[in-house]
Structures are given as C-alpha cells and as structure tokens.
Amino acid sequence: MKRSAAARSLLPACVCLAVALACPARAAEPAPKYAGRTLEEALKGLGEGGLKLVYSSALVRPEMKVAAEPAGPTPVEALQELLAPHGLRARSGPGGAVLIVRIPRGEKPASPIGAVSFVSVVSDKVPDVSSLEAWKKSFLKPGMSDQEKALAVWRSVVAFQHQDSPPNEFLHEGESVRDTIKIFNVYGYSMCDAASANMECLARAAGLEARGRIVAHHSVPEVKWDGAWRLLDGSLIAYYPKADGSLAGVDEIIAGVSGWLDAHPEMRGSDEKLGAFMRGEGWKKGPEILTRTKFYDGNGWLPAATHGWYSTMQEFDCKPDQVYEYGYTEGYRVNIQLRQGERLTRNWSNQRLHVNMKGGGGAPGCLKMEVGKESLRYAPDFGDLAPGRVGNGLLEYHVPLANGAFRNAAVLVVNLAARAEDGKDPAIHAIDDAKDGVLELRMPSSYVYLTGTMQFEAAIGPDGGSVAAYFSDNHGLDWERIGESDKPGERKIDLSSLVLRKYDYRIRFVFKGRGTGLEALSFRHDIQHSQRALPALGEGKNTITFAAGPAESTLTLEGSLNPANKGKQLTYADFHPSLRGIDAQAGGLWVKEAAGGSVTFPVETPYEMTRLRFGSHYRVRDARDVLEYQVSFDDGQTWTTVETCKGPTPGHCAYRTFSGMPAGTRKALVRYAGVSRNTTGIMQFRIDADYKEVRGGFAPVKVSYYWEENGQEKKDEHVATRQNETYTIDCPARPVMKSIVLERAD
C-alpha cells in the first residue's frame, strides 16, 4: 500500500484535545466524589471548580440523585455524564456560560460509556472457546489425569476444527492461519498441519508435552503422558489403542504398518488394493496396531469419510523419528466491543463469502455443507448444533455524531463540537473556524473483515472548505488518503481491498473551513466467523449466560515475515521495527552472527497499557544459540528479559505475558534479541498490547436470538442491565438457528 511521507503527519506538533465547552481544569487536585449526592450538590461542586453553570430548579429537581461516579477526565465530560441519566445535557451559552437544557423528546442521549468490552453470550449447549483461558475452563476439570487432559485437547480440536482447505491470512507459516483460538472462532476449519499445531498449543496450555510428527502426506501430533508419546490425530479423527489399553505412538504405528506391508508387498502404495481389502471389516485383518480403534466404520472409513484405513496404511509407511514443530501463534481472543450505534450480527449461514475469495486460495468445501452430511457427518457426535460450519455476519456502526456520543468512542477529537453541545450545524463541526477539526476512529473486530464500506454526508461551509478521509491499518503509523470532498453531499467509499483479511484499522477525518463537518457517518462490513463456536440453542431449556468484561482493548502487531506477501497482508516492516545484525529472508528474521542481533518493535497504546502478551515460533539450532524476549519502557535505556529460549531445537513456540510496566505507561519497546553459532531467529511472531479504555464501562446490551422450530420463526430479545446475568430460553422443538445480534440498548 502506497503511503506518502507527507500523509504520515496530519496534525501540528502540539495539539490539545478540544472539548466543546471551554473550562478551567484542576488536574493537580483530587476529583470530588459525587456518587450518592443529589444532582444539585454535584453541580454546585462543579461550579466551585470553575464552571459557570446556568439552570432552573424546574430541570434540576431535589429528588435527582447521582447513581455512579463520573469517569470523564475533564469537568465538562464529568458534567455530561452527571446530566445524561436525567435526560439533560450541557451546551454553550453567552459569555462563557454553560447552559443545562433538556434533551429533546425522541432524541437518544449521548452515553458516557464509550465501549462495552468483552461482551459475551454463552449457551449451556456450546463450550466457550473465546480465549485460551475460556477454553481451559470449558475442557479441563479438576482432578483430571494427564490422559484425560490430552483427550480433552483432542476432542476440542475435533469439535472446532474441520479438515478442509485452509483459511489463508498470509501471516503464518505456509500462509494459513496458525492461531488455535482464532481458528476455533473465526473459521472452524483448516488442514492437518494446523490441527497438529493446535494440539501442540492446547496440550502445552494444559501442562503436557507435545510435538509434531511428519508422516507420508500427513501431519500429526503426539502428546506425552505416563512417560510415552501417544498419537492423537485431531484432523482425521483417530487414535489407536494397544493391547494393554494404552494409546500407541507414531513410531509404534509406523513399525506395525510397515511390518505388515513388508509381508504383503503387493498392497504397498495401492489405493485400489488397500481400499478393496478394508471393506466388509477386512481392515481388522490388517496390522494388529490398527485393529482396536473405534474410528473406522465397517468398511474402513474414518469419521469424516474423506480418509480411511487405506490412507492410514500409506501415511504410516514411512521413516520413523521425523519430529517437527508445527509453529503457531497465541494471543487472539474474542473481544466484542460495542459502542453506541454499533451492532454485530452473526449468522448460522453464509453468503458464500470467505477469506480466500480474492486471490487467497480455494474455497473450503464446508462452505456449502450441512452439519451431519458429507464430510461433516461426524460433527453432531461431537456436539455440533449448527446447521453449517462457515458463517458470514455483519459489523455495522452508525456513528452518533449529533448527540456527541462519538467523542467517548474516538481515538482522537480535535477542535470539534456536536450539534447537541452548541446548537450549531452540521452534526459535528469545528469550534474554532481558523483551525482544522480532526476526528479519528478505530474499527477493531473480533472476526476477520471480508468487505467494507464507509458512507458519510459532508457539509461544506459558506466560504468553502474540504473534508478529507485517511486510512491506516498499522495503528496510525502511516496514513493513506482515501477520499476528499469540497462539495456537500453523501459519499460512499469501498474499503474492501484495504481491510480484507484484517481485524483492525483507523479512519481519520480532517475538516477545513468555517461550517465544514459531517452530518452522518456509518460503516458496514461483511465478516467471517465459525458457526460452530456460536452460542446455539438446543431442544428444551437453554441457559444463557451474559457477561461483559473489563474496559480494555488490544493493539496487535503481527505481520508476515515473507516480503512477497506485501499487498496481501501487513508485513513485519509495516510496524516500523529497528533491525540490528538481522538477515531478513523469506520465512524468518535470522541473527547473522555470534556477535548478536535484534529486532525491536515500538508499541504505543491510546491509553494506559496494562500488559504485553507476546512471543514467537523460533529456532535456536545449536546448544549455544540463544533468543531472548525483552521489554523496555524508557526508550531502550534499560531492558527486562521476559523469556530466554535456549537451544538446541530446530523449532519451538513460546508466548509470555508481562504486566510489570510502570503505571501510566503508553509506550514500550519489544525486542527479540539473540546470538547465533548455528541458526537463531523467529519464523512468526505476535505482540498484543492490552490497554485501558478510559471511557469504557458497562451499559445495557440487547441480545436478540432468531431461529425456527418446525418451520415457524422464533425470536427472543433480552436486555442485559447488569454486567453478569443469566436467563433461559425454552425451545419445545429442535431449533434451527438463524442469527444472534448484539447491540447497545442505551
């Protein structure tokens, strides 16, 4: 994507975040406490702090109480929060006065809450796999043996990842997605190498050793318990008990299969002969090591019926001892954030849209499949209540401009006022006509973007002016101008080519000229999600658990290490790293020599950083090779080592969390530093910087379920008024799920 150097700096070197009503601030003094007091007492306190308030006793009545402490960092923002629950708001008056007026009937008041974060709706019929922590709670139970933990890992991979053409985001090894929780929630399908990586990731999260194995034309994982390695194939859905009831490992299966084929050389490598042999339970006359499994049917087919005994006989007729790390990333988690005017629709259906549709590879076969049929015939046995596997949904955001609610959800607001704040047109406009107005919005999504449009109505002042729109997909490090208008009216911009395969971007508007601004602004995106992970209903009583989590958001730094993917996806270079002694080749960042080398990524969050979660798929081939994960919060003057990765290993994955940054931190450096006698480097990486949403909190959320029973449309609407609550939905007949919609109810 071409970005001009001039477009990178769109603001003066020093700007102040403008508020609609100017007032003195007393930042050095502790904020007064208003909760529990009358509204009039709170207003008097603000008046003593410097606000010149004008209101009548008919509007501000004695019985009005302050229910919650305002979170706004300035007196004016605190004032608006105090007034909104009572149907009141503040606007500019003559002589610097602040007028308290009634919100007009029918107009939705601006919410003081910018975003409600980690909005979660969980059905008792579907395990919660929205994060690695949620997965642990769903699948790992106290007192489990290591074998029980390993089988729980295997069942979750079988349930949430179907074997199919993989989704390609061009971020990870082989271009396909290698983040377990992302696969479970966004896609629900991939290939055997990803399934092996998922098994490795989850087994290690459960405290078990795991590794990948290369066999012929297939990738499989092994998990270690009771002192031995055991095969648990999560993609083709199989494992193989031995005579003593314990599960066989890959080398034992190879020995059994190869030995049998040595005795029956006419069968070796022949689909036709092996396929004929396995029918009518003939497979039970094959290698003894395969005869006790419950996963072949009478004719030797595995549960999905894409593979069978005949393919097992060829896959395990190979060399033993081929160990391989199927690299993965960790860090993705579902964080549904809802701002006023934002709505997320997830469907148990699709419009044939998928992440590979624009030069990204083939469509998955399950795009058109029904659960219980074809290669998804096994899915109901593993708890799948969805009608299909691939889901398409909508993320819509009608930005509330006129009432000023946009301010609490924006990354940056400079020199802008809303109609509700000063009574002037258009809906948002500059306060000082001599200066530019700036609005910057972030558009994060828990589900991958497939398409996108932005629509706005520009207003141009009587003396002329312009509205310019800029786009950034690397957290504001670079900007590209995507539209400019010097005429009033509606404008629609197609964002699809900019956002495909991505989860986050920013839009910045710059307004020039008196009376210039926006009358309306909206965004609409098609997204992809897995139907399997959605909170489906079952026949009978369904218990639904609603929750909203802490007011936090995340910035993610993750880019391809293959320069050839530029244009299809962000690369590591888009995050402006500094490289020292590093050889950047396709597929990795490698330390050049024993003297050492490093790659350092700058990280900056909009508000206070709470933790860094980061790691890599790395190689330290020699016993003397070392790779360290390090962080700095003083611009590189001092460094803290978070993890030391020692050789020898041709590949391993490690992800760590660091939360010991100084209070108030917004900037950090994350460094991968190593020394190399043989080979040291990283093959994929991910950095997640979690931060506080200072204007975040809880606001009521409406949850709408849509389904059918016996061909009749059904609907359930529930408004969650508490951060954690439980309710029930009864389905007398088996439901066919249609949609679940989440939106703010304030």
Q: What is the pLDDT at residue 109? A: 75
Choose among 18, 29, 16, 36: nearest CA to 77: 18
Q: Compute how many other C-beta atoms are within 10 angstroms of the C-beta atom of residue 615.
A: 25
**DSSP conformation letters of 163-214:** ESSPPB-SSSGGGB--BHHHIIIIISEE-HHHHHHHHHHHHHHTT-EEEEEE
Q: What is the pLDDT at residue 7? A: 43
φ and ψ at residue 366, rounded to 5 degrees: -75, 0
Place 2 in a pLDDT band, splitting at 50, 70 and 90: very low
Q: Compute how many other C-beta atoms are within 10 angstroms of the C-beta atom of residue 745.
A: 15
Give the C-alpha separation, 482 to 210, whole Å. 47
Q: What is the pLDDT at residue 174? A: 82
Cβ–Cβ < 8 Å for 246, 150: no
Q: What is the DSSP letter of 607?
A: S
For residues 105-122, one letter each, b for 16 or more C-beta atoms within 10 angstroms of the residue's C-beta and e for the rest, the string is eeeebbbbbbbbbbbbbb
* Mean of per-residue pLDDT scores for the chain: 93
φ and ψ at residue 731, rounded to 5 degrees: -125, 100
pTM of the full predicted structure? 0.90
Q: Compute how many other C-beta atoms are within 10 angstroms of the C-beta atom of residue 214.
A: 18
Q: What is the pLDDT at residue 209? A: 98
Give the C-alpha separation, 738 to 706, whole Å. 5
Q: What is the pLDDT at residue 10? A: 45
**DSSP conformation letters of 360-389:** T-PPPGGGSPPTTSGGGTTGGGGT--SS-S
φ and ψ at residue 48, rounded to 5 degrees: -65, -25
Expressed in percent and rounded to 5, the helix, strand and coil fractions of the chain are 20, 35, 45
Give the C-alpha separation, 70 to 19, whole Å. 16
For residues 324-352, one letter each, b for 16 or more C-beta atoms within 10 angstroms of the residue's C-beta and e for the rest, the string is ebbbbbbbbbbbbbbbbbbbbbbbbebee
Give the C-alpha separation, 487 to 164, whole Å. 50
* pLDDT, tens digit (0-9, with 9 covering 90-100), for 241-288: 999 999 999 999 999 999 999 999 999 999 999 999 999 999 999 999
Choose among 119, 122, 210, 176: nearest CA to 742: 119
Q: Compute how many other C-beta atoms are within 10 angstroms of the C-beta atom of residue 712.
A: 8
- Extract the tokens encoding 250: 């890959």
First to last CA, the chain: 39
Lowest mean pLDDT among 208-217, 356-365, 623-632, 724-733: 356-365
* pLDDT, tens digit (0-9, with 9 covering 90-100), for 590-619: 999 888 999 999 999 999 999 999 999 999
Q: Compute how many other C-beta atoms are within 10 angstroms of the C-beta atom of residue 506.
A: 19
Place 18 in a pLDDT band, splitting at 50, 70 and 90: very low
**DSSP conformation letters of 124-149:** TTS---SSHHHHHHHH--TT--HHHH
Q: What percent of the chain lies above the pLDDT cut of 70?
A: 95
Q: What is the pLDDT at residue 256? A: 98
User: In sequence order, what are the beta bridge partners of 540?
Assistant: 731
Choose among 670, 555, 665, 661: nearest CA to 602: 670
**DSSP conformation letters of 690-704:** EEE-TT-----EEEE
| Residue 4 pLDDT > 50 | no
Give the C-alpha separation, 276 to 47, whole Å. 89
* pLDDT, tens digit (0-9, with 9 covering 90-100), for 52-111: 899 988 889 999 999 878 866 678 778 878 888 888 888 777 877 888 988 876 677 788
- Extract the tokens encoding 521: 């602004």
Angle at alpha carbon of residue 15, lines to 9 and 18, rounded to 5°? 125
Angle at alpha carbon of residue 147, lines to 144 and 148, rounded to 5°? 40
Please tell me whether the peptide bond between 94 and the residue prior to it is cis, using omega within 30 degrees of 0.
no
What strands, in cross-sheet order, belong to the sheet with 597-604?
A: 578-580, 597-604, 667-675, 626-632, 640-646
